[in-house]
Structure 1
Amino acid sequence: MTHLIFALGVFLLVFASALAGIWISRYLPEHHLSDESAAAIKLSIGLVATIAALVLGLLISSAKASFDTVNNDLVHNAANMIRLDSALAQYGPETHGLRATLKSNYSDWIDLLASRDGTREARLDSPEIIGRMEEFQHSIAALAPATDAQHALRARALLIADDVFAARSLALLQRGGSVPKTVMFVLVFWLAIIFGTFGVLAPHNGTIVVAFLTCALCASGAVFLILEMDTPLDGVVRVSIGAMREALARLGG
């Protein structure tokens, strides 16, 4: 919701800047809007528009990279959960309780990621969940292998469990996004200047106003997508947890 409100604010600011430009142009002396003046203004604002386009492209690329990184972490986590369950299953029937705990904790984790509860943010890395993770690792370490094969399987399970919890922690650390807010505000300021200049140079008719309205919607939509992809665990544009649910269905216990 915060991202939608911010994008709506960007739309209103950019569109208002275009309308303000149209209004200002009515009161400017005629020689300020001569062909020579208009050409100079177009060259200047063209430079700003080019810089803004480059920054916009970089922000979209950065946000997409954050989105893909978290998505890959969760998919990798799901694959490791299956590997961990398999290692415990091969160890022997004494790990049945551990496998049931693993499946229960993973189900709770998936439900928490899918939830839109207002307290979800605090619960994602709560001491209770971290304590469960540590307790599970201690339970694996406390296994008493009787054969060389069980020794190897316990060591393998501990390594996989460490990878599982490391991937989880990495995904949580990246949930806040990587796009600097200052850069976003500067970009919005540039967009307002660009649209204001367009308004000054544009003819005064309804078609131009509709065109500015459409372009302002597109610009604010791009800002909305950047903010949404930059926070892949929240909002409308979220990473898919389909792989995690599929992994959960394949777990024993």
Structure 2
Amino acid sequence: MYPLSSALVVLALLLLGALIGVVVRPLLPEEHKAHQTVQLVHLVDGMLVTFAALVLGLMTASAKGTFDSASDDFRALASDIVQFDNTAREFGGDADQVRRLMRAYLAATIASTWRHEKPPPGDFYPRELTPKDVTENLDDVQLDHMLNLAGIEWRRLVAHDRNHQDLLDDGRDQFSRIVQAHWKLIQEVHSSISLPFFMTLAFWLFVIFLSFGLMAPRNPLVLITITLGAISIASVAYVIVDLDTLFRGMIVVSSQPLRDALTAITH
């Protein structure tokens, strides 16, 4: 789902519901405006408002949790790559090819994931990766191949003494963590919001604003209040979807940890 279009759909539904209520209210027979009828509508409204508020809160917390988890995993990936590069640097010149592959993998990951940002400078990594929608699929065959190739090159290294053997073992563990972080991020990028559930929530909100229009007196202050309420709830829907998409909209996962890691392993 797209954040802006989702918010606009919700806003349109809420305003439409309120407008229908305002238009229909004068057409209702007087018995439909009786105190007991109004009281029952208020009770149903209260139930729906409670459910909607609870669901909106849970969806916001879930989307924020997914966003924070992805941000933490990118920082962990950056840290693991820097540690692995330090180990490869300490191993010596035989590991230079592995370091070059990891630099290329990291730079290509930044360029392909954050396409709206300036790519890392240099020509040491492939610029023409297959275009993809990173909000739905973060995986890339070329990136997978580069990472696998770096692992193969590391396993080919031969230790000539105990110190180099320890470095090989440490690098193997560090590279394993990088691969795990790589695939974990690919799995996390998928949207956690169910479209049918989101539309069901929008329907609840539509009914709530329809009842607002039916029960509210027709004066400018009431209409302004209902409009502001609809805009506020639509903004909540925007934030929820924006947090859930990770790489699209105003709120995106920062690329800075990986850029800092690239700077650290380039020098």
- The TM-score, its normalising length taken from structure 1, stands at 0.94
Q: Residue 92 of structure 2 aligns with which residue? A: 92
Q: Secondary structure at the match of 1:237?
A: coil
Alignment of structure 1 residues 172-183 onto 2, 5 Å:
172-183=186-197
User: Matched residues, percent identical?
Assistant: 24
Secondary structure of 2:191's counterpart equals coil
Looking at structure 1, the residues matched to 73 and 146 of structure 2 have their Cα atoms a distance apart, in angstroms, of 20
The corresponding residue for 1:49 is 49
Query: Is 107-116 or 181-190 further displaced after alignment?
Result: 107-116
Q: Deviations over 1:166-187 (max 9, x none)?
A: 2122112111121222221111
CA distance in 2, matches of 1:134, 1:235: 32
- Aligned twin of 1:205: 219
Give per-residue Cα distances to partners, 1:142-175, cap 9 Å, x unaligned: 0011111111111211221121122122112111
Q: Tell me, yes or no, if the aligned pair for 2:101 and 2:147 is still in contact at 8 Å.
A: no
Aligned residue type for 1:9: V
Q: Which residue in 2 is equivalent to 1:248?
A: 262
Counterpart AA for 1:29: P
Corresponding residue for residue 132 of structure 2: 120
- Is the contact between residue 7 and residue 237 of structure 2 (CA under 8 Å) also seen in structure 1? yes
Give the ranges of 4+ consecutive aligned residues of structure 1 lying more than 3 Å apart after TM superposition: none
> Which 5+ residue runs of structure 2 have no aligned equivalent?
118-129
Is the contact between residue 85 and residue 252 of structure 1 (CA under 8 Å) also seen in structure 2? no
Whole-angstrom CA distance in 2 between matches of 1:68 and 1:44: 36
CA RMSD of aligned residues (A): 1.8
Letter in 2 for 1:194: I
Please state if 1:223 is matched with 2:232.
Answer: no
For each residue in 1:179-200, what CA deviation from the matched residue of structure 2 results, as whole angstroms up to 9, or x when unmatched? Answer: 2222211110000000000110
Partner of residue 134, structure 1: 148
| 1:11–1:217 CA contact under 8 A, matched in 2 | yes
Moved more, 122-131 or 134-143: 122-131
SS at match of 2:157: coil
SS of 1:221's equivalent in the other structure is: helix
Q: Secondary structure at the match of 1:120?
A: coil
Q: 2:81 is paired with a residue of what secondary structure?
A: helix
More off after superposition, 230-239 vs 65-74: 230-239
Q: Is the 8 Å Cα contact of residues 82 and 251 (structure 1) preserved in structure 2? A: yes
SS at structure 2 position matched to 1:26: helix
Alignment partners' CA distance in 1, 2:149 and 2:138: 17
Contact 2:22 / 2:213 at 8 angstroms: preserved in 1?
yes
Answering whether residue 192 of structure 2 is matched by residue 166 of structure 1, we say no
Tell me what 1:63 maps to: 63
1:143 aligns with 2:157: yes
Partners of 1:39 and 1:233 in 2: CA distance: 46
C-alpha separation in 2, matches of 1:200 and 1:84: 65
Gaps of 5+ in 1: none
Q: In structure 2, what is the Cα distance between the partners aligned to 1:22 and 1:96? A: 72
Mean Cα deviation higher: 17-26 or 30-39: 30-39
Q: Distance in 1 between matches of 2:207 and 2:261?
A: 50
- Alpha-carbon contact 1:4-1:224 (below 8 Å) kept: yes
Structure 2 residue 243 is matched with structure 1 residue 238: no
- 1:13 aligns with 13
Whether the aligned pair in 1 keeps the contact of 2:97 and 2:153 (CA below 8 Å) is: no
Structure with the bigger percentage of helix: 1
User: Offset at 1:7?
Assistant: 1.4
Task: Please say which of residues 68-77 and 208-217 is displaced more in the overlay.
Answer: 208-217
TM-score with structure 2 length normalisation? 0.89
Task: Say if 1:66 and 1:177, in contact at 8 Å, map to a contact too.
Answer: no
